[in-house]
Amino acid sequence: MKTFKEYCKKEGVEEKSLHPDLHKIVKTKDGYQLMMYSPSAGKFVAQGKPQPTERKAEKAALVFASVKKESLMDQEREDKPLIKWFDAFEKELKKAGGKYKDIDPTDMLKLYYKGKNPKAAVKELL
């Protein structure tokens, strides 16, 4: 059994991208299986299909870890409605030909808390 910490050292991959205690590759009768620790199950759970070689399983693990990291970042972004609204506001402002430096941030926040959509807020502030 090879840990991801060993793999990261060997391949020169930053350990920050993978959590070595939560991933492992196990040799099974069907090939090499990526296993991830599941806190809800309290044990390691198989992820994806077994791979024919250990190298392919390691590559699949890196892909899986990067996708999981991106989905966590998306989840974090969805949990912040003000940031989401502000991003939409900036896009609408750019479409309208305005610049952020011409907008008073306090007025913009007041419109956000009044429940105005970003497009209407831009029209009101320009």
User: Looking up tokens 């350990």, which residue turns up?
Assistant: 15
Look at the chain and report how many structural domains it folds into: 2
Residues 71 and 31 in one domain: yes
Give pLDDT tens digits for 30-61: 888 888 777 777 788 888 888 898 888 888 77
Residues 102 and 70 in one domain: no
Q: Which of 76, 94, 111 is the last residue of a domain?
A: 76
Residues 88 and 28 in one domain: no
Nearest 5°: CA angle at 86, between 117 and 114? 40
pTM: 0.40
Secondary structure letter of residue 52 according to DSSP: S
Give pLDDT tens digits for 96-108: 988 888 888 888 8
Residues 72 and 88 in one domain: no
Residue 87: domain span: 81-125
Burial class (CB in 10 A: 0-12, 13-18, 19+), 2: middle
